[in-house]
């Protein structure tokens, strides 16, 4: 079944910069390889196109090593877009850089004014917006988002990203209007009560961050038990390499903004 939370016409991506090798990370397991990162990114874009998405590709921003993770800079909703306020100081400027592109697609673009909030901490379902407080997202940022989306009819539910986890969506992804894939540590918090929850296999926590785009789930390769579970449940997967992005704590959702463009601008 199609849903406004999983079915879109467009995606925005940004090419990884050569400086991506210096991307932020919680633990250092070595720098990503810029050329391999770019090859993986191209494969990701191709997978988006295979779902039917029109992909708007932005050029690399060398001054912002993490700027290929466009999800953190904005939130795209059916009614309009919100420019985020990233809590990582080195990423704050990415949001302003994204704003002109959002204005190409949306008449109504609003800007977070207070606090900090990154798109990776936000899960949008059909009925609500869930936001996890984290080292990057604070209560003032959530309050600012709540005020900005209230007249669009959205309820914002404030939750807690698990300790030592970068973003709320590091640990979950929406599979369809009613179903969330989550790590057990997040599922056990009860934050998805009212949804159907599928838990990732033990040891495969890194695949919770997946993206449903139209009829396909973009899924990081190398998580066979969870992949088999999702296939048994009837989901179609595009398994994509994620080793390079994982070195700097990135995953499937971070690499795109997903939305349905206003019909009159849909040619863009
Ligand atoms: C960061 O630490 O900000 C980047 N290295 C990774 C951002 C991943 N973004 C996301 O999960 N939405």
CB atoms within 10 A of CB 115: 16
CA of 59 to the centre of ligand 1 (A): 18
Let me know: does 137 contact 91? Beta carbons within 8 Å. Answer: no
CA of 69 to the centre of ligand 1 (A): 6
- DSSP assignment of 212-227 equals EETTEEEEESS-HHHH
Cα(230)–Cα(228) distance, integer angstroms: 5
pTM equals: 0.97
| CATH number for domain 10-263, candidates 3.90.650.10, 3.75.10.10, 3.80.30.20, 3.40.50.1000 | 3.75.10.10
3-state SS class at 23: coil
Atom of ligand 1 nearest to the CA of 169: 11
Q: Return the bridge partners of 180, or none.
A: 174, 197
Structural domain boundaries in the chain = 10-263
In 3D, which of 180, 176, 83, 151 has the Cα closest to residue 159? 180
CA of 25 to the centre of ligand 1 (A): 8
Cα(41)–Cα(233) distance, integer angstroms: 28
Is 41's C-beta closer than 6 angstroms to any atom of ligand 1?
no
At 262, the pLDDT band (50, 70, 90 cuts) reads confident
Is 246's C-beta closer than 6 angstroms to any atom of ligand 1?
no
pLDDT tens digits along 49-103: 999 999 999 999 999 999 999 999 999 999 999 999 999 999 999 999 999 999 9
Please, what is the Cα angle at 170 between 165 and 173, to 5 degrees?
145
Query: Is there a catalytic annotation at residue 167?
Result: yes
The answer on pLDDT for 264 being more than 90 is no
Catalytic residue from among 7, 10, 167, 223: 167
pLDDT tens digits along 114-133: 999 999 999 999 999 999 99
**DSSP β-ladder status, 109-111 and 122-124:** unpaired
Cα(85)–Cα(243) distance, integer angstroms: 27
- Side-chain-side CA neighbours of 262 within 13 Å: the count stands at 13
Is 16's C-beta closer than 6 angstroms to any atom of ligand 1?
no
């Amino acid at each position: 079944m199609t849903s406004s939370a999983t079915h879109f016409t467009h995606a925005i991506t940004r090419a990884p910069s050569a400086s991506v090798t210096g991307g932020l990370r919680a633990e250092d397991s070595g720098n990503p390889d810029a050329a391999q990162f770019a090859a993986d990114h191209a494969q990701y874009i191709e997978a988006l196109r295979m779902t039917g998405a029109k992909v708007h590709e932005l050029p690399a921003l060398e001054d912002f090593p993490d700027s290929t993770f466009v999800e953190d800079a904005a939130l795209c909703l059916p009614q309009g877009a919100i420019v985020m306020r990233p809590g990582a100081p080195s990423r704050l400027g990415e949001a302003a850089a994204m704003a002109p592109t959002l204005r190409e697609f949306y008449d109504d673009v609003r800007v977070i004014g207070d606090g900090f909030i990154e798109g990776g901490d936000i899960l949008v379902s059909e009925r609500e917006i869930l936001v996890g407080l984290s080292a990057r997202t604070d209560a003032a940022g959530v309050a600012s988002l709540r005020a900005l989306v209230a007249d669009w009819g959205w309820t914002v539910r404030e939750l807690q990203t698990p300790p030592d986890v970068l973003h709320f969506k590091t640990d979950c992804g929406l599979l369809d209007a009613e179903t969330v894939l989550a790590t057990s540590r997040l599922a056990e918090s009860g934050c998805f009560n009212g949804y159907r929850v599928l838990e990732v296999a033990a040891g495969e926590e890194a695949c919770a961050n997946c993206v449903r785009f139209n009829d396909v789930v973009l899924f990081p390769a190398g998580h066979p038990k969870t992949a088999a579970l999702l296939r048994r449940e009837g989901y179609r997967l595009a398994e994509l390499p994620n080793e390079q992005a994982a070195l700097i704590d990135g995953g499937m959702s971070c690499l795109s903004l997903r939305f349905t463009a206003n019909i009159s601008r849909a040619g863009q």
